[in-house]
Structure 1
Amino acid sequence: MNPNMYLSALLMAATCCTLMLAYLSYKRRSSPIAISYGLGMLVSSFYTFGYGFEIISQQLDHIRFWLRIEYVGILLGPVFYFLMVLHYTGRESWVRTRNVLLLLLVPSFTFITHNTNEWHHLFYTNMTIDTSWGFPLVSLEKGPLFSVHVVFSYTLFFISVFFLVQMLLRATPPMKKQIIFMIIGSCGPFMFSLIYLSNIFHSPLDFSPFGFVISGIFYTWGVFQFNLLRLAPLAYQKVFESIQDAVIVFDLDHVLTSYNRSARRIIESLHPKGLGQHASQVLVQYPQLLAKLLEQEPLNDVRKIQLSNDPSSRTYNVHLSLVQHQSGKPIGKMLLLNDVTEAVQAEKKLRDNAQQLSELNTFKDRMFNVVAHDIRDPVAVLVNLMDLLEEEIQESNADHEEIIHEMKHQIHNTFALVEGLLEWFRSQGGGQVFHPVERDLHYSVEASIRLLRVRSENKHIQMVSNISPGVCVYADKEMLDLILRNLLSNSIKFTNPGGQITLNAERKDQHIVVSVSDTGEGITDEQARSLLQDEYPVSATGTAGERGIGFGLNLCREFVRLNGGEIWFDSRPSQGSNFYFSVPLAPQSNANESSPYSVQVEDNT
């Protein structure tokens, strides 16, 4: 059998290979790269098929016919190859109808001039038969239009190779193999054609179609091994980069192999030079991530991690998973970081809101007790006065003007108290709202003494204030009045008839310390341990059978704290008690170091 028959058979095999690749591309025609690649393989089959018959032809006319078939692939192959590379490297925006038509201008002109060469001989100046290889081969002398075709084709080829090499340099390691296969497969026909055109071997045999044998092998391997037609490497890279979560990939030896843009924003130590470094170097500033990565068995649980000790740093859900080959064999590990800062903050806000609601509910309960605590005593006085009035009316027709006047006075005081409490309730609609003002302590003390005067007189208890006018404090008026009323009320309750209650004020640093001292029964050690401590202390009974102790003091403790002060006491059983609380000075009083604080004012009415 002549050698040309073997060569023809080899070219038929290459034709079958390119047609198979064209068919595989057709099956994946939803991808733009598959369309351009498939068309390139289809027109290339014209080249190999036509040359396979050309080298077994015996007559020049037959050779001319097969040359016309070959030139369908020779002219269109470089164009479709260039379009495929544009898709492959992410330059799809360049593939527009206008640009494609411009690319087809030179091949169309070449096709016309090639088929009309007998009229002008500008493509081939001469065409003869050469039998030096033992079988007839055409020997062609190229004309000027042939040079135009060669320059155009190789310009597209070198631009395409430049784009591929450019992408190879910035691609991730898993994608480099696919790009290398693409470059090698592309070089086959063009490099063989370059050898033929350079006339190195002085041979009439065109080696270009045999390059498709090499291309077919590499492209077929690429299709089945690397899914060459499913998605271009740059497209994979774009998907990888567009993921909002941070993704960091390591191999089984914990060597960094890849990461996306989101990971680079979060992990400062990630940079291109870090590829190939061990995780202990890359994550040295992030010990929590390193510990998660080095776990023996990747966990399916999601762990919340803050990458720095700064309380304002963002919070991430960190998940570690295995990267597996198609066969199921592990080939690496992947850290996935999902920013959940907003969710964590929202959760914290919900917890804070729930706690605030709980506090408001507790505050509401306390305020109901305050209302009952403050209103109960004036109402009790009114009841006693009514009893006295009833007895006087029954015993005689005496003048009751004094009792009626006192009843009127107490009723007005009670009404003013209720109005003040209601107004304060309205101001506290969002919780315990603090409205500090400058307040003369003397007037607050005198107002509280007047309100409790009848109760103290009923028990023959003398209340003495040693606080002079001009002692100004900076506190919430209603809170300060409640503190004073509660402390005085408790002193009256636990002081025996004939006793005395004394109020003093003394400056310490930037505070005024107010003391309420009584000559009552004092506080036992058991009571002292719970007083100002328990949230709901056990009630006790006063010297005249009055009920209640503890809750009012806890309220005082909270109000004193809100005003920036402290409250404490000392007491001995049967020797009385001393309660102290501090209140900040008024701002303009801070510089006044010589203000008098002690002038005795007795309530002897």
Structure 2
Amino acid sequence: MDFRMGMFFILLVATVLMLMIAYLSYRKRKQNEGKYGALAMLAASFYSFGYAFELISVHLDQAKFWLKVQYIGIPFITTFWLLIVISYTGHHFFLKKKVLPFLFAIPILTFIMYFTNDSHYLYYRDLLFDPGLSEPSTFIFSKGPFYWVHTAYVYLEAAVGMGMFVRMYAKAVPIVRKQVLMLIFGASAPWLCNIVYLLSADGNSLDLTPFGFLVTGSIYIWGIYRLNMLRLVPVAYQQVFETMQDGVIILDYDHNLSHVNEAAKGIFEELKAWDGQTQSIAALFASNPQLLAKIVDGEHSESRLSLHKEGETSHYHVKISHIYDKSQNFLGKVLIFSDVTQVVRYQEELLANANQLEELHAFKDKAFAIVTHDIRDPLAMLVNLTDIIEGDLMDAGKEESRIFQEINKKVKDTYWLVENLLNWFRSQRGKINFHPLVWELEPIVRQSAKAMHPRITMKDIQMTVAVQGGTNVYADKDMLGMILRNLLFNAVKYTEAGGHIHVHARRNGTSVTVSVQDSGAGVGREVGKSLFDEMQQGSEPGTEGESGTGLGLYLCGKFVRLHGGDIWYEARPGEGSTFFFTLPTHEAAAGLQRTWKEVDAE
């Protein structure tokens, strides 16, 4: 009796463990495997709890009652366990409503056959009870034909479930394999104990099957808290791994293939025939020794791999990562192959387009060089010739002189147009030479004013220049001349016949302020907002229909800022405009000058 009491308490512990697992399965999981796990453990708890009290029963009716308690769960334990396996391994076809009744047909029939056994004796032919037996069990069973039908069905389910687990283990990634092994070991204990019981010669041998559930409960409790067994859906994890678009190869610590997904098999033909046997990665990458060297010897790395298949070249980004356990022990490596073929092709197209653009830029540079030498230089010569001829015609008739002044004006307009276009292009490319030196301002201003002489003569405009002698600036002479000519050109353009223009310069500390004042129509407020910062889309015609490109004042703004100066204007509509710009003296130039990049960024 003492031995039986010891077994009684052990079975109660097994019952408590199985109820704990049933509770955890129900609370921690919403998927099918959690639900079926809870039902399987609950059914097993009926078995172990009833058998515990059967062992200490003192009369037949009491023993029969506790045997009935056991059979509330015994017929269904294996079926619920098989449903767990089906859920974990992804065979969801068997979970459909049309299939489930077939799976439960034998268990339900077993339940009915046992509870009606007294009317047909097909489950147990004879059942004797003797509490005085020296054997652990007080029952002597004579098993009927349906007992063996139930037993055969239980072992068939066990074999199918174990087969699913083994197949899943063979294909699973390492993190899933631990959980699969835990489920296999936990389920094996009751079956092994039941086999021992069935093979025993005595009819009243101790049924070890419920004790096997104590092992099951202990393993599953350990798995739940150490491997998060109920927190991960292995089939879902496996499904993610298998359906990844990136190819994944897992190697063990000896650089042998451990696992590959379907995408990796699509990349490497050699992997399609791999049957899971030990194979070195060296055979797979024999044709790519550089990548193989990185895999075998290197740490974490990333590289590019090109493969030629069926006349086409595919490109892959290869990432090599090491796998460590919680104790930082090296377990293996993961190779991830991301298809970047389309990206590489886009890069090649962009490079080809970039080369074409570079060729176009080179052609444009050459075209402007032709403009410079073949158009600008002859125009400059023509301007000089017209100036000379105009002087010779001063004594000629008024009509001839007027016509030639008009020709001279058009030639100079065309020359300044070409000059502005060239300066704009060079500024965009950052190729204008900038060589500032100390220059006396007054001669440069008068030379620029002189260039306006044909225009102001035709429009009868009075121009005065008031620049104090000895006023020096630190500037690029050609740029300064271009700034002055553009400002004077605009003043003449928008000043009515008989008007006046006044050019003035004064020194203010370390800078010189130059102003060009006219008596024209003035600058509109909307136009003036971006006069020096943006290239204008053409310009308003002058008082006598003079045209312009919209480049002049934009270039003035860039050139003044390049010197480190500022440019602005003051205007009242109908009362004329005054344009101002400043240039540094030699003493302040070093701290004010800017680069083309700085000017463009403003």
TM range (shorter): 0.5 to 0.7
More displaced stretch, 351-360 vs 336-345: 351-360
Alignment partners' CA distance in 1, 2:331 and 2:113:
56
> How big is each residue's C-alpha offset from its partner over 1:101-130, in whole Å with a ceiling of 9 and x where there is no partner?
332233223323322333444433332213
Q: Does residue 1:16 correspond to 2:19, yes or no?
A: no
Alignment partners' CA distance in 1, 2:136 and 2:377:
132
Q: CA deviation at 1:328?
A: 4.3
1:339 alignment counterpart:
339
Q: Does residue 1:192 correspond to 2:190, yes or no?
A: no
CA change 1:193–1:310 in 2 (3 A) is closer
CA contact (8 A) 2:137 2:206 kept: no
Q: CA deviation at 1:56?
A: 0.6
2:285 alignment counterpart:
283
Q: CA deviation at 1:178?
A: 4.5
Q: CA deviation at 1:330?
A: 3.6
CA change 1:128–1:231 in 2 (3 A) is same
CA change 1:186–1:310 in 2 (3 A) is closer
AA of the residue aligned to 1:92: H
Q: Does residue 1:238 correspond to 2:239, yes or no?
A: yes
Q: CA deviation at 1:41?
A: 1.2
More displaced stretch, 182-191 vs 333-342: 182-191
CA change 1:258–1:371 in 2 (3 A) is same
2:568 alignment counterpart:
none
CA change 1:126–1:273 in 2 (3 A) is closer
- How many residues align? The count is 394
AA of the residue aligned to 1:266: I
Alignment partners' CA distance in 2, 1:348 and 1:225:
51
- 1:551-562 matched pairs, under 5 angstroms: none
CA change 1:199–1:303 in 2 (3 A) is closer
CA change 1:98–1:338 in 2 (3 A) is same
2:348 alignment counterpart:
348
1:470 alignment counterpart:
none
CA contact (8 A) 1:126 1:140 kept: yes
CA contact (8 A) 1:31 1:230 kept: no
CA contact (8 A) 1:19 1:42 kept: yes
AA of the residue aligned to 1:287: P
Q: Does residue 1:141 correspond to 2:142, yes or no?
A: yes
Alignment partners' CA distance in 1, 2:303 and 2:170:
36
> How big is each residue's C-alpha offset from its partner over 1:254-287, in whole Å with a ceiling of 9 and x where there is no partner?
3332322222322344453685444434422222
AA of the residue aligned to 1:154: Y
CA change 1:291–1:169 in 2 (3 A) is closer
TM-score in terms of structure 2 length: 0.56
TM-score in terms of structure 1 length: 0.56
1:41 alignment counterpart:
41
> How big is each residue's C-alpha offset from its partner over 1:171-219, in whole Å with a ceiling of 9 and x where there is no partner?
4566555444433432322333344344424434323212222333443
Q: CA deviation at 1:135?
A: 6.8
2:216 alignment counterpart:
215
Q: Secondary structure at the match of 2:287?
A: coil
CA contact (8 A) 1:89 1:232 kept: no
More displaced stretch, 219-228 vs 63-72: 219-228
Alignment partners' CA distance in 1, 2:147 and 2:275:
48
1:79 alignment counterpart:
79
> How big is each residue's C-alpha offset from its partner over 1:217-243, in whole Å with a ceiling of 9 and x where there is no partner?
443444445443344555443322222
- 1:152-231 matched pairs, under 5 angstroms: 152-171=153-172, 178-231=179-232
Alignment partners' CA distance in 2, 1:65 and 1:286:
73
CA change 1:264–1:74 in 2 (3 A) is same
1:293 alignment counterpart:
295
- 1:429-444 matched pairs, under 5 angstroms: none
Alignment RMSD:
4.1
CA contact (8 A) 2:43 2:72 kept: yes
CA contact (8 A) 2:46 2:72 kept: yes
> How big is each residue's C-alpha offset from its partner over 1:337-396, in whole Å with a ceiling of 9 and x where there is no partner?
21212112212322322332332344345456778999999999x99xxxxxxxxxxxxx
CA contact (8 A) 1:58 1:136 kept: no
Q: Secondary structure at the match of 2:160?
A: helix
Alignment partners' CA distance in 2, 1:153 and 1:376:
102
AA of the residue aligned to 1:214: V
Q: CA deviation at 1:53?
A: 0.7
- 1:93-492 matched pairs, under 5 angstroms: 93-130=93-130, 131-133=132-134, 137-171=138-172, 178-231=179-232, 233-270=234-271, 272=274, 276-299=278-301, 302-307=302-307, 313-364=313-364, 366=366
Gaps of at least 5 residues in structure 1 are: 384-605
Q: Secondary structure at the match of 2:99?
A: helix
The share of aligned pairs that are identical, in percent, is 38
Q: CA deviation at 1:69?
A: 1.2
Alignment partners' CA distance in 1, 2:225 and 2:194:
27
CA contact (8 A) 2:270 2:284 kept: yes
CA change 1:217–1:201 in 2 (3 A) is farther
Alignment partners' CA distance in 1, 2:106 and 2:342:
59
Q: CA deviation at 1:91?
A: 0.5
1:448 alignment counterpart:
none
Q: Secondary structure at the match of 2:58?
A: coil
Q: CA deviation at 1:7?
A: 1.0
AA of the residue aligned to 2:41: M
Q: CA deviation at 1:75?
A: 1.1
Alignment partners' CA distance in 1, 2:348 and 2:107:
68
Q: CA deviation at 1:162?
A: 2.8
AA of the residue aligned to 1:5: M
Alignment partners' CA distance in 1, 2:230 and 2:376:
89
Alignment partners' CA distance in 2, 1:365 and 1:173:
63
2:591 alignment counterpart:
none
CA contact (8 A) 1:196 1:206 kept: yes
Alignment partners' CA distance in 2, 1:278 and 1:198:
45
AA of the residue aligned to 1:250: L
Q: CA deviation at 1:60?
A: 1.2
Q: Secondary structure at the match of 1:166?
A: helix
CA change 1:113–1:238 in 2 (3 A) is same
